[in-house]
Amino acid sequence: MLQEFQQYNRDDIASLLMDLEHGDAPAIASSAHRIKGACRMVGALELADLCLKIEQAAKQVDFLSQPKIE
């Protein structure tokens, strides 16, 4: 199980880093969400909490960047 966790997270972390580089807030939130779920499954709760913060921040940035409706 931990080997699968490591492999999937390696790919998701690479995706998260690419998303951060491109400034793609929805993709950042999605990648962080996937990593968060995997962390919770193996009991890495502190890391899951950090991923939750990244996910929430990315969602907030995406919301703030939307055009205002007047």
Mean pLDDT along residues 33-58:
95
Q: What is the pLDDT of residues 16-38, one digit of tens each?
A: 999 999 989 999 999 999 999 99
The structure's pTM equals 0.81
Domain positions in the chain are 2-65
Residue 67 has pLDDT above 90, yes or no: no
Q: What is the mean pLDDT of residues 31-60?
A: 95
Q: What residues contact residue 54 under an 8 Å CB cut-off, 6+ apart?
A: 16, 28, 29, 32
**CA–CA distance, 38 with 63 (Å, rounded to integer):** 25
Q: Report the pLDDT value the prediction gives residue 68, as an integer from 0 to 100.
A: 58
